[in-house]
Amino acid sequence: IEEIDLGGYLAEVCRDLTEITPHCEVSCDTPEVLFMSTDRAIRAALVVTELVTNAAKHGYPNGQSGHIWVRLTGGDGGTARISVRDGGLGLPPDFEIGQGGGLGMRLTMALAQQADAVVRADRLSKGTEFVIELPLESPVCHPSMASQQGDHLLKHLVKGHGRPSSCTSAAS
């Protein structure tokens, strides 16, 4: 399957996430049909999975019950916008996205970079909202570069380094 409906796929992922975060209700709102390549959709779903599990673990610690909302909308210029929001404890005062963090946040940022996504974190009066914006279409990337990119990602994650470089779009 070359392309799938990202909204339908995220809805299935959210149902699964409800099973692995039993103290949190995970709601998924996907009012639009947005198609993208299966590979990109999987990367986006992995980013959402990491953000939801982080929200359950850190936003609602010690099994505290809570709600996590995932919302997909179409953005400007052929992009998808995914929001992962909770009403939990919120981010620590010293949290800066892309600066250190645990393995889960490093993995989130590396997966987002592979999907050419931009991730931002917004502190709310109660809780946190992470917003992921990614293009629906993939930039041009030679298959050998993708393999090298995967090897580079693994080395960075194992060593705990910052974000690795990614394949950039080619001008035609």
Query: What gap in Å lies between CA 155 and CA 8, rounded to an integer?
Result: 33
pTM of the model as a whole: 0.79
Average pLDDT score over the chain? 83
Length of the chain: 172
Least confident of 47-51, 86-90, 140-144: 140-144
Whether 52 and 68 have beta carbons less than 8 Å apart is answered as yes
Strand order through the sheet with 128-135: 24-29, 66-74, 79-86, 128-135, 118-123
Query: What gap in Å lies between CA 155 and CA 134, rounded to an integer?
Result: 24
* Tens digit of each residue's pLDDT (9 = 90 or more) over 107-122: 899 999 988 999 999 9
